[in-house]
Amino acid sequence: MEIAIPQSTHANRIKYPPVKFYRFAPEVWKAEIEEYKLEGHKIRVYNLAKTIADCFKFRNRIGINTARKALKVAVTEKGTKPKEIMQYAKICRVDNIIKPRLEAML
């Protein structure tokens, strides 16, 4: 399980299930969270374009190949607009990394 938390938040260690915490600046953490109801519980999830930007932000932790594949799937199979991905890439400060990859795909 992977959870995004604001930088200044303390996260308790959880033995099970294994959890990875990703810390974000408050303005980045708040960007484009969608809410869903699942079995009576409110679940908060980032939209796909923000998730792609996050993949590139944490590419050293998840692997650059995973980030590249996620970008390709988002654009070619899921119909995510490059403009929307670039909007969140700027917020996450990875626009210089994503832009050449997007250009090569188009």
Percentage above 90 pLDDT, the chain = 54
Nearest-angstrom CA–CA distance, 24 and 58: 11
What does the pLDDT read at residue 87? 93
pLDDT at 19 over 90: no
CA–CA distance from 63 to each of 12, 31, 51, 66, 68 (Å)?
26, 23, 14, 5, 9
In this model, does residue 85 exceed pLDDT 90? yes
> How far separated are the first and last CA of the chain, in Å rounded?
33
Q: Report pLDDT for 7.
A: 82
Residue 1 has pLDDT above 80, yes or no: no
Q: What is the mean pLDDT of the chain?
A: 89
